[in-house]
Structure 1
Amino acid sequence: MSTMVGNWKMAIADGCMPGDQLSLLNISSGKAHVELTFCAEGGEPLGPFHLTLPAQRTQSPVLEDLVGTDAPSPGLPYSVVVVSDVPVLVQPHPADQRPAA
């Protein structure tokens, strides 16, 4: 479940896990400049990480693809804050529920 916390700022505090994926959909007619910050228990926030989504397109990054070796430990849940300069929709996808590629 995602919760709006301000202008084009969203927090996902569901206890996401490393390997999970976020689907980002830019619903505007212009580019979306998106910033992701990951917050894990007992550690410093990771990020911000920057993505650019073309108009009316989707992108689905995986945590490890963005942060590399700095990713939280595999069993450590995290939350993510998403900030964008235009409206975007965000949907988390747990790693164990993603469709096979």
Structure 2
Amino acid sequence: MAIADGCLPGDQLGLFNVGSGSAHVELTFCAEGGQPLGPFRLVIPAQRSQSPALDDLVESGTPSPSLTYSVVVVSDTPVLVQPRPADAPAARHLP
């Protein structure tokens, strides 16, 4: 899956593993005129979610805040992907 709309540093990706086993996910971020960042590898346990942000994944230096990044998501099992802008309201949790 690819999200071509672009995301900015600080934005998150909501990743939900809908399967009964662990999902091994790779995220690669690409910006026009720049080198791809990644792949970043995550393991998401069965029926669990993670919400990584590009800033949290990059170990050496911060991605340029002036660039928008497209992201390619590759997983060995089905996962739901929901982009979340940094300025989006916080998610509400049911009791």
Structure 1 segments of 4+ aligned residues over 4 angstroms from their partners = none
* Runs (5+) with no aligned partner, structure 2: none
Larger proportion of helix: 1
* Runs (5+) with no aligned partner, structure 1: 1-9
Amino acid at match of 1:79: S
**1:19 touches 1:95 (CA, 8 Å); kept in 2?**
yes
CA RMSD of aligned residues (A): 1.3
Which deviates more from structure 2 when the two are superposed, residues 44-53 or residues 60-69? 60-69
Give the alignment's TM-score, normalised by structure 2.
Answer: 0.90
Q: Does 1:29 align with 2:20?
A: yes
Give the alignment's TM-score, normalised by structure 1.
Answer: 0.85
Q: Does 1:45 align with 2:36?
A: yes
Aligned residues: 91
Q: In structure 2, how many angstroms separate the alpha carbons of the residues matched to 1:47 and 1:78?
A: 12
Larger proportion of strand: 1
